[in-house]
Structure 1
């Protein structure tokens, strides 16, 4: 996949991704990468977050790969159920990392407006990466989301929430999952040709 022919959209989760978060590193490292900015990172509003994603994808005609973390993953799922079909077609795939289970007991109150989590398959290739010790989603729930979204799944050992707090500043190993997703996208495109 020629990098100049694709745009990477970074979707942080609740409270955003600070400068030392892997998503910020990836934004600086990947060609044609930009961030979906939200008006309020601390008090997320599902309607506003979904609308911001729709605007970001619609802003250019270039095909897009989404790179979402935590609440950003759930935002992608909500967006996919209601997007304009012309905008939806621009998304080639999504890397979904450490999804937030907004239906879990004890979920922080600011996130509960994103429940229920959509259960519809995503209409583009996706790869969901979770962890076996993530406070935001158990491995069982990650696998449930992957099945519902028709996403390939990977469960990392001891990776926590795959954020700065769990030691994932640059997360260079994560590029392997992005490349795996891109290979799947290319394979699917060849089958359709």
Structure 2
């Protein structure tokens, strides 16, 4: 810092940038180690919602940074419950370890539909982020997913955690808490993070990653246990 002006110098700013970069890379390394441990026990499966998860989506970051597999759908823009259900069924049946579903938006809705309509012995648990509230949202794209209504009312047969934002156009905070109660899911406030999606630029979204890791450590068990 310039002692006369009190302003940060170019050297100060460069040092701060390096420190921030190191902090981010150190955090990613720690999270990567935790996800590696999770993968020794479970098959994590990213379950995207409408339009898939774009370049800036946390699911895409997790896929790249932590090597998590992603569910693929034939049509991301015009989803049908039957086709999306079939793709999820196939992925779960092919998994060699108990599946940990990591779902966002319509993917979270699909996950809860699947869990309450299928035999779920090969699913260890589910992490639901910002489920799309088809029954109440006024989002302009809501008509694309109306076929997935109504939302499941039954409690989940496996441990579930949910994260939701306070300013999500697809899901109000009150409805998020009601759904979490209905599904018997642990609830974590995601803050003011919009729909927790591609347009919210959350980067690695370490808050979500740490919440998921804690949930797995506390609530999920492997067959050997």
TM norm. shorter chain > 0.5: yes
Task: Tell me how far 1:106 sits from its aligned partner.
Answer: 2.3
Alignment of 1:26-175 (within 5 A): 26-31=62-67, 33-83=68-118, 85=119, 88-107=120-139, 108-175=142-209
Task: Tell me how far 1:105 sits from its aligned partner.
Answer: 4.5
User: Which residue number corresponds to residue 182 of structure 1?
Assistant: 216
Higher-Rg structure is 2
In structure 2, do the counterparts of structure 1 residues 25 and 118 end up closer, same or farther at CA, with 3 Å as the change threshold? same
1:10 aligns with 2:46: yes
Task: Tell me how far 1:156 sits from its aligned partner.
Answer: 2.3
3-state DSSP of counterpart to 1:44: coil
Number of equivalenced pairs? 187
CA distance in 2, matches of 1:54, 1:181: 24
Q: Which has the higher helix share?
A: 2
Q: Is the 8 A contact 2:106 2:132 kept in 1?
A: yes
Q: Is the 8 A contact 1:125 1:184 kept in 2?
A: no
Task: Tell me how far 1:157 sits from its aligned partner.
Answer: 2.0
Normalising to structure 2: TM-score of the pair? 0.78
Q: Is the 8 A contact 1:92 1:185 kept in 2?
A: no
Q: Deviations for 1:47-79, whole angstroms, at most 9, x for unmatched residues?
A: 111111111010123111110000000000111
User: Which residue number corresponds to residue 24 of structure 1?
Assistant: 60
Task: Tell me how far 1:2 sits from its aligned partner.
Answer: 4.8
CA distance in 2, matches of 1:27, 1:129: 19
Normalising to structure 1: TM-score of the pair? 0.90
Moved over 4 A (4+): none
Q: Cα RMSD over matched residues?
A: 1.9
Q: Is the 8 A contact 2:99 2:125 kept in 1?
A: yes
CA distance in 2, matches of 1:137, 1:54: 26
Any stretches of 5+ residues in structure 2 without a counterpart?
1-36
Task: Tell me how far 1:35 sits from its aligned partner.
Answer: 0.9
Task: Tell me how far 1:116 sits from its aligned partner.
Answer: 0.3
Q: Is the 8 A contact 1:130 1:155 kept in 2?
A: yes
Any stretches of 5+ residues in structure 1 without a counterpart?
none
CA distance in 1, matches of 2:144, 2:38: 39
Q: Is the 8 A contact 2:57 2:199 kept in 1?
A: no
